[in-house]
Amino acid sequence: MTEKEYDKIPGTIVFDADKSREGYHLNQFCISLRLQENRDAFNKNEEAYLDAYPMSKEQREAVLKREWNLLLELGGNIYYTSKLAANDGINFQNLAGRMTGMGVDSYREMMLKGGRSIEGNRDKSEWGED
């Protein structure tokens, strides 16, 4: 695939049309959890609830295992996956603590100190990535 101009930004997945296509059923599953009756059904039997959404095996596994970063890599978008997190009692800030690998407390501490600096976080080369 041709490289996209935003592929060089480290630690970032841009939810573009390709990701949206790939993640369609995953995201529609996540957004269904906006409603209490759906959350009840999902929490009663996750596997059975997921059967209604023809997502890939990998996506389904990532949902069941709550692999938050993998969900994004497989086409999930944060505004959708955050509904799954909310169902589990995880708010946006705590979810970020998990996705960054920092843990909830040090993530919160970083935000209180002004957030993650842009310096050293513009290009994958600064992260030692391609």
Partner 1 sequence: MAKIIAGVGCSHVPAIGVAMDTGITHEEYWKPVFEGFKKSREWMKKQNPDVIFLVYNDHCTAFDARCIPTFALGCGVEFQPADEGWGPRPVPPVKNHQKMASHIAQSLVLNEFDITIMNEMEVDHGLTVPLSVMFGDIKQNDEWPSLVIPLCVNVVQYPAPTGNRCYNLGKAIRRAIESYEEDLNVIIFGTGGMSHQLQYKRAGLINSDWDKRFLDLMTEDPVGASQITHLEYLRETGSEGIEMVMWLIMRGALNENVTEVHRHYHVPASNTAVGHIILENNA
The residues of the shown chain that bind partner 1, judged by CB under 8 A, are 5-6, 9-17, 20, 23-24, 27-28, 31, 33-36, 39, 69, 72, 77-80, 82-83, 86-87, 92-93, 96, 99-101, 107, 110-112, 114-118, 121-122
Distances (CA, A) of 81 to 20, 33, 91: 13, 10, 11
**Which residue, 8 or 58, has its beta carbon nearer to partner 1?**
8
119 touches 4 (CB < 8 A): no
Residue 62 CA to residue 69 CA, distance in Å, equals 9
CB of 44 to partner 1, least distance (A): 18
CB of 83 to partner 1, least distance (A): 5
**Which residue, 57 or 118, has its beta carbon nearer to partner 1?**
118
53 touches 29 (CB < 8 A): yes
**Which residue, 20 or 45, has its beta carbon nearer to partner 1?**
20
Distances (CA, A) of 91 to 5, 23, 37, 94, 113: 31, 22, 20, 5, 20
CB of 4 to partner 1, least distance (A): 9
